[in-house]
Structure 1
Amino acid sequence: MAGRLLLLFIALPLAETWLLIEVGSRIGALPTILAVITTAVIGSQLIRRQGMETLREIQRRQQRGEIPAGPMLEGVALLIAGALLITPGFISDTLGFLLLVPRLRTRLARALLSRVFVMRGAAGFDAGADRSSETIEGKFRRED
């Protein structure tokens, strides 16, 4: 875990800086800056559209009584994509745009869900239980 954090917080910014310098030296500083700004603007528009569609899918599944775990993970992937796209750099932009590909994002969400399991009855949580047949005893008093 520490190695991954080192890679994330030290190696990635260094690689981003190196790549920005290389691209800037080949095409110039202004076109490089415009490219970074353009990817952020285009990415933010795509994220907004796909985020709204993901939100509608979550609502549809909730209305059907389903757990919207997949769409919720896709929403998290969109948040990560947004953070990557507003971060200056071509590597982060590439990763952000990859998360905007719906099929890739869906596969990623399914892969994450396949690694998670729910223990029936653990901590009082039972995702697949039909609670309509259970009786809950208790006292009730309305206070106005």
Structure 2
Amino acid sequence: MRFIGFIIFFIYVYFEVSFFITVANTMGVFLALICIIATSILGFSLVKSQGLKNFSIMQQKIANKQSPKNEIIKSVALLFAGFLLLIPGFLTDILGAILLIPNVQEHIVKFIVRKMPIKSTFASSQTRYQNEDIIEGEFKRKDDE
């Protein structure tokens, strides 16, 4: 049971190296290395721009007192995609690029939200008291007279 992580790691490395060798044989080693570096840089910039856009949407939803759970899940998908794009290799770059596609993110969000047992609600202290009946007035105790 302890060796499952090592086995998965070595299987990943085997597929990554064999895929790199295949690409390097068709394009050349230097061009393959440039492609890996370019996808890392391009992936980082895409994750940064989409992350900032997603962050502004989250701020708007919080300001409108809506639940930002979909955007939080998208942010985690973007973080995971950025991590995959920064790891050198073509397979991880392909998986990271797939996670950057908005339709794929929507399917991931729908799948995770369906599996979530917790429902979230946002309420500030101001809206909590607006729903109750509050009657303002003055009173005088009869004991004081």
TM-score (norm 2): 0.76
CA distance in 2, matches of 1:13, 1:115: 32
- How far, CA to CA, are the matches of 1:6 and 1:15 in structure 2? 14
Residue deviations 1:63-83, cap 9 Å, x none? 111221110010000111011
Matched, 1:25 2:2: no
Match for residue 38 of structure 1?
38
2:142 matched to which residue of 1?
none
Runs (5+) with no aligned partner, structure 1: 120-126, 136-144
Partner letter of residue 66 of structure 1? Answer: Q
Inter-partner Cα distance in structure 1 for 2:115 and 2:3:
22
Percent of aligned pairs with the same amino acid: 24
Q: Name the structure 2 match of 1:92.
A: 92
Moved more, 10-19 or 56-65: 10-19
1:113 aligned residue: 113
Q: Give the Cα–Cα distance (whole angstroms) in 2 for the partners of residues 112 and 9 of structure 1.
A: 26
Matched residue type, 1:115 = K
- Partner in structure 2 of residue 141 of structure 1: none
CA 1:99–1:26: 2 relative to 1, 3 Å: same
Give 1:26 deviation, angstroms: 2.3
| Structure number with larger C-alpha Rg | 2
Q: Secondary structure at the match of 2:111?
A: helix
Please list, as runs of the form range in 1=range in 2, the aligned pairs for 1:50-89 lying within 5 A after superposition: 50-89=50-89
Matches within 5 A, 1:6-17: 8-17=8-17
What amino acid sits opposite 1:56 in the alignment? Answer: S
TM-superposed CA distance for 1:44, in Å, is: 1.1
> Which structure 2 residue ranges, 5 or more long, are not aligned?
133-145
Residue deviations 1:108-131 (CA, integer Å, cap 9, x gap)? 112111101127xxxxxxx34878
Q: Distance in 2 between matches of 1:4 and 1:106?
A: 31
SS of the equivalent of 1:48 reads: helix
1:66 counterpart SS class: coil
Match of 1:28, as an amino acid?
G
How many aligned positions are there?
128
- What is the CA–CA distance in structure 2 between the aligned matches of 1:107 and 1:118, rounded to whole Å? 19
Alignment check: 8 A CA contact 2:67 2:121 kept:
no
Q: 1:96 to 1:2 in 2, by over 3 A?
A: farther
Question: Structure 1: which amino acid aligns with 2:31?
Answer: P
